[in-house]
Amino acid sequence: MRGLQLGMVSLLLSIQLGCATLPSPPKHVRVATFNLALNADSAGALIARLAGRDPQALKLAAIIQRVRPDVILLNELDFDSEHRAAALFQQRYLQMGHAAINYPYRFIAPVNTGVASNLDLDGNGQASGAEDAWGYGRHPGQYGMLVLSKFPIDQAQARTFQRFRWSQMPNAQRPQLPNGEWYQKDAVWSQLRLSSKSHWDIPIDTPNGRFHLLAAHPTPPVFDGPEDRNGRRNFDEIRLFADYISPDRSAYLVDDRGRKGGLEADQPFVIVGDYNADPSAGASFQQAIHQLTRHGLINPIEPGQSRDANQSATSNFGKEVGQLRVDYVLPSRHFNVLNSGVFWPATDTPEHAWIEASDHRLVWADLALPPKKSSLTAE
């Protein structure tokens, strides 16, 4: 009997010790977005650069290693069908050095930049070149996107809207010439894709439940004429996600697999990306980003936090344009925002030299993970 009792005590202790060593679910998830400006003007050139020890990539990786997001969207990393550039950036840069960081899960998909439309989209009488691609680009995949995550991604349930046509959007901001004529003829307008890159809905499963990462990189609202075709496209690219999270406005949306509608009600989400739209400055059409920043389902990040991601500039475009806020991490109101920031070191710090690698800054937010059952309505 005494041996049995000792055995039971030993078993109980081993269970207790075992439970004590189990990792507890994280109290928050750090979500980030970063426009790397890591692209090349010819196909394969970025792969060749990353195969060595590219100085720009080293600085970009150092920033990510310093901030250490759990989930991050990377804009402007050239896409290739074999995902070689993405793999090289992960293996030779992020996973190297004393601050190495590993992301077991990633999402990558084709984008519209550089993909030939075989249409005269810019009205110059020709149907070739970067301006006549579905999204501006000198080769297919330039300025691509990549999502890295420490948590599993439900690849089967991910949705992309690369091929969604602009004309499918009700009351679209179709570009118009000053004389009242449409900028694109009907035959072109009916085929034109809305996303300059793509729009992604990526379900991510954390220990505390699932949330949807909504990732995009709308076109800059410049480099056009009086028809403001890029400004209007930027507005409607932003509108796509504003409608996507609004069940009463999303019925018209159709993803690349033919699935209709937007995000199901009460699903936690985080909108991330370089949206090329400042709330009060720049060339945005009708303050386009307000469609998201003032949306009733999005959690307004409180000011006064660490270089607040909802108030600070996130880019530096030089003397002519200056600093603008164009990169965003916008969580739904399911989340409690614990902290947020923009990686912008002071000029007298060693890290300041890193930020010259891109004209954008990494933006992050620490989000308390929502309960598995939650409900909210727009205010």
Task: Kindly indicate the confidence band of residue 26, based on its pLDDT and cuts at 50, 70 and 90.
Answer: confident
pLDDT of residue 27: 80
Of 299-313, 329-343, 363-377, give the lowest mean pLDDT range. Answer: 299-313
Does residue 123 register a pLDDT over 90? Answer: no
Mean pLDDT (the chain) is 90
pTM higher than 0.95 for the full model?
no
Q: CA nearest 196: which of 242, 256, 272, 131?
A: 131
Cβ contacts of residue 320 below 8 Å, gap of 6+?
Answer: none
Over residues 20-36, the mean pLDDT reads: 81
- Alpha carbon distances (Å) from 182 to 60, 73, 91, 279, 291: 42, 35, 48, 28, 25
What sign for the dihedral angle of Cα 100, 101, 105, 109? negative
Tell me, rounded to whole angstroms, the distance of Cα 81 from its chain centroid: 20
Quickly count: other Cβ atoms within 10 Å of residue 62's Cβ. 18
The set of residues, in sequence order, having a beta carbon less than 8 Å from that of 116 and lying 6+ positions away, is: 128, 132, 133, 134, 140
Residue 19 banded pLDDT, cuts 50, 70, 90: very low
Q: How far apart are CA 81 and CA 108, in angstroms?
A: 10
CA distance 129 to 314: 31
Query: What are the chain's domains?
Result: 29-368 (3.60.10.10)
Task: Give me the mean pLDDT over the 103-123 stretch.
Answer: 96
